Amino acid sequence: MKKKGLFLDRDGVINRERGAHTVRLADFEVLPDVPQAIAAAVRAGWVVVVITNQSGIDLGLYDRAEVERMHRYLGDMLRDQDTAVADVLYCPHHPSVGKCLCRKPGSLLLERAMARHGMDPASSLMIGDRDRDVEAATRAGVRGILVAPNASLLETLRTHGLIP
């Protein structure tokens, strides 16, 4: 039986959208209700995966090691709340450097996550704060939900009936 996937954009959904690249761990501010929201989603049977564009790598603003530090920090914070995301997938490319299939609105990262975790696209959805997040979801056969940057993830999950 295929699982239902909950894809979350990172900047603006999980951590505060600052209007600029999140370059350092010191700038990576996880939004207040994110651990509680992810824990509730996992309890409700969702496989939670973070899908994020990190073009600052291609632009030379930061490196993969810094992105991995941020993701380890998020993982540690979630573990402290007795929860976790199943995966974090990111695209390091910037369109000025070349085209790729993994950068949203491309759907490759969602497709990769669905294959890796046995997810059913028809039962899955993506929450993002940009049109490209919803477009990537649509291309992957997944429902997309557009939210305002830095919106409450917990409230979004409740409003859409994804958690009790």
- Residues taking part in catalysis: 9, 11
E-only strand ranges, the chain: 4-8, 46-53, 87-91, 125-128, 143-146
Task: Please name the helix (run of DSSP H) or strand (run of DSSP E) that holds residue 144, with its range, or none.
Answer: strand 143-146
Query: Positive or negative CA dihedral for 12, 129, 151, 89?
Result: negative
E-only strand ranges, 1-67: 4-8, 46-53
Residue 124 to residue 126: CA distance in whole angstroms = 7
Q: What is the phi/psi pair of residue 127, to 5°?
A: -110, 125
Beta partners for 47? Answer: 5
